[in-house]
Structure 1
Amino acid sequence: MMLDTLPLIQKLRLEHVDEEGYAALRCNWNHCPKVEVVPALNEDDDFWSFDGLYAKAWTKFFPHEDLPTGVTGPCCAQFAVTREAVERWPIAKYEQIRHWMWTVEGVEEVSMKTGLVLEYMWHIIFGKPHYYCPDTEKCWCEKFGMCDLNCERDGWCLGQSWLNPEKNPHMGLSQDIPTGWPEEGQSEPGKGGYFPYDGWWLDPEEILNH
Structure 2
Amino acid sequence: MRRPVLVAVCLFALLVATWRLYLNNHWRSIPQKIGLGDVLDSQGGNDITTTSSNDSSYHYYKPDGSPAPPFNVSAFEVGVPKKQGSKYSKTLVIAQLKADNTTWTKSEEMVRSGWEVAAYVVDDSNAPLHPPKNKGHEAMVYLTYIIDHYDDLPDIMAFMHAHQFAWHNEDIFNFDASEMLRRLSLERVVREGYMNMRCLWTPGCPNWLHPGAINEDGGKKEENIIAEAWSEIFPDMPVPQVLSQPCCAQFALSRERVRAIPRERYVYYREWLLHTKLRDAMSGRVWEYLWHVVFTGQDVSCPSPNACLCDGFGICFGGEDKARFYYETLWRIRDATNELGQWQEKAGALDEDARITLSLDEMADAEPAPGDNHGILLMAEVEEKTAQLAKLKKQALEKGADPVYRAWSAGHGAAQSRAARQHALFLRQEGSGAAPTEGATKPTTSAASLLLLRECIVLTVDSDVAPTLPNFPGF
TM-score (norm 2): 0.33
Name the residue aligned to 1:178: 359
Structure 2 Cα separation of the partners of residues 91 and 177 of structure 1: 50
Query: What corresponds to 1:130 in structure 2?
Result: 299
**C-alpha distance after superposition, 1:140-167 (max 9, x if no partner):** 111112113785488x56369xxx6444
Q: Distance in 2 between matches of 1:76 and 1:21?
A: 18
Q: CA separation of 1:56/1:121 partners in 2, compared to 1, >3 Å: closer, same or farther?
A: same
| Residue in structure 2 matched with residue 139 of structure 1 by the alignment | 308
The 5 A counterparts of 1:17-96 are 17-40=189-212, 48-96=220-268
Normalising by structure 1, what TM-score? Answer: 0.69
Q: Using the alignment, how far apart are the partners of 1:134 and 1:35 within structure 2?
A: 13
> Which structure 1 residue ranges, 5 or more long, are not aligned?
169-175, 197-210
Match of 2:280 in 1: 111
* Residue 326 (structure 2) pairs with residue 158 (structure 1): yes
SS across alignment from 1:81? strand
Question: Partners in 2 of 1:9 and 1:190 — Cα distance?
Answer: 23
CA distance in 2, matches of 1:10, 1:50: 33
Question: Is 2:274 the counterpart of 1:102?
Answer: yes
In structure 1, C-alpha distance between the alignment counterparts of 2:176 and 2:264, rounded to whole Å: 35
Does structure 1 conserve the Cα–Cα contact (< 8 Å) formed by 2:233 and 2:272? Answer: no
Q: Which SS does the other structure have where 2:310 is aligned?
A: helix
1-structure distance, mates of 2:331, 2:250: 21
Cα drift, residue 104 of structure 1:
1.8
Change in CA separation of 1:142 and 1:104 when aligned onto 2, cut-off 3 Å: same
**SS in structure 1 at match of 2:260:** coil
More helix by share: 2
- C-alpha spacing 1:88/1:58, structure 2 compared with 1 (3 Å): farther
Alpha carbons of 1:63 and 1:141: their partners in 2 closer, same or farther (altered >3 Å)?
same
Deviation at 1:128, TM superposition (A): 4.6
Q: Where does structure 2 lack aligned partners over 5 or more consecutive residues?
A: 1-170, 336-356, 363-385, 398-475
- Tell me how far 1:27 sits from its aligned partner: 0.6
CA drift at 1:46: 6.9
Q: C-alpha distance in 1, partners of 2:297/2:186?
A: 18
Single out whichever of 55-64 and 67-76 deviates more from structure 2: 55-64
Q: For 1:124-152, what per-residue CA distance to the aligned partner results, in whole angstroms no more than 9, with x for missing partners?
A: 10015211111111111111121137854
AA aligned opposite 1:178: S
Q: Give, in whole Å, the separation in 2 of the partners of 1:116 and 1:6.
A: 24
1:188-210 CA-partner distances (Å, limit 9, x unpaired): 544448xx8xxxxxxxxxxxxxx
Using the alignment, how far apart are the partners of 2:306 and 2:235 within structure 1? 37
Could you tell me which amino acid in structure 1 is paired with residue 234 of structure 2? F
Q: Distance in 2 between matches of 1:85 and 1:36?
A: 25
The CA distance in 2 between the partners of 1:36 and 1:91, in whole Å, is 30
Q: Is the 8 A contact 2:206 2:300 kept in 1?
A: no
The one-letter amino acid paired with 2:290 is M
The answer on whether the counterparts of 2:206 and 2:245 sit within 8 Å (CA) in structure 1 is no
Give how far 1:177 is off.
Answer: 9.2
- Conservation of the 8 A alpha-carbon contact between 2:205 and 2:246: no
Shift of 1:56: 1.8
**Alpha-carbon displacement from aligned partner over 1:92-122 (angstroms, at most 9, x marks no partner):** 22222222223321x4xx2221122111110
Name the CA shift for 1:18/1:143 in 2 (closer, same or farther; >3 Å).
same
Aligned to 2:283, the other structure's residue is in SS state helix
Task: Determine the C-alpha separation between the residues in 2 that align with 1:101 and 1:89.
Answer: 18
Distance in 1 separating the partners of 2:298 and 2:188: 18
Letter in 2 for 1:82: S
* Length, aligned pairs only: 180
Higher relative contact order (CA 8 A, sep 6+): 1
- What is the RMSD computed on CA atoms of the aligned residues? 3.6
CA contact (8 A) 2:211 2:223 kept: yes
Give the counterpart letter for 1:25 in structure 2: M
Q: Is the 8 A contact 2:199 2:246 kept in 1?
A: yes
Secondary structure of the equivalent of 2:296? Answer: coil
CA contact (8 A) 1:39 1:51 kept: yes
Which deviations, in whole Å up to 9, do the C-alpha atoms of 1:56-93 show, x marking residues without a partner? 22211221111111110011011101122112322222
Higher radius of gyration, 1 or 2: 2
Letter in 1 for 2:273: M
